[in-house]
Structure 1
């Protein structure tokens, strides 16, 4: 299978607010827009995220209106502190403060108008030995195959 593009579609009654949020705070541009669907992205990454109203005319089976739970969109950046500064300069605020996590991420989080959790992360060196107990468990598990 040759995947040409990838992006989540979030079914929400807040299509316009989500579009404005992603354009304002993350600098995404409209790739495609209609009354019931908008695809956002940028030149570097292509498509990033789409929003679709629950009353769209070409409803495939399955997608219900997103409840704001059970999904996280991870955005990896080179500098989480700078990404947060940009978000704040544009009038946004973090719902999870900039935190250096022991497992090797510096991150902050926000919710978009649909309730989607957006985790903005910079990969950093984890605390010494943090992953040892997890990696050993994985190695033991694979040895029993």
Structure 2
């Protein structure tokens, strides 16, 4: 199989609110938008993408509808400490404070509006 694109698609309760969260706090921009699906692309040097879909949309098999759970989105950044300061100053709640790990990462975690964990990481 030759894969042309790869991105996570998160099932969320409010597609618009979730999109605004990623646009406002993480610099993503919309590349496609409808009332039930929004695709976002990072505006940095690398064109990483995520997509959001209404958790109850009929394109999702009924038995698997609902918000995405137990998901951790890792974002590697130049300076996790600076991002921690920026995120904290914006009023978002950090659920794991900035810390250095013995395996070589400085990171912190927060959650998006539906509880998807976001791990902001800098290798050290």
Q: TM-score, normalised by structure 1?
A: 0.74
- Higher share of residues assigned strand: 2
* Structure 2 unmatched ranges of 5 or more: none
- 1:59 corresponds to which residue? 60
Would the aligned equivalents of 2:56 and 2:65 in 1 still touch at CA under 8 Å? Answer: no
Indicate the residue corresponding to 1:137 in structure 2.
none
Q: Structure 1 residues 44-53 or 102-111, which shifts more?
A: 44-53
How far has the Cα of 1:118 moved from its partner?
0.6
CA distance, structure 2, for counterparts of residue 101 and residue 55 of structure 1: 38
In structure 2, what is the Cα distance between the partners aligned to 1:101 and 1:117? 18
What TM-score does the superposition give when structure 2 sets the normalisation length? 0.85
Query: What stretches of structure 1 move > 4 A for 4+ residues in a row?
Result: 60-63
* Structure-1 separation of matches of 2:30 and 2:61: 22
2:99 matches 1:99: yes
How many residues matched? 123
Partner of 2:84: 84
- Tell me which moved more, 74-83 or 84-93: 84-93
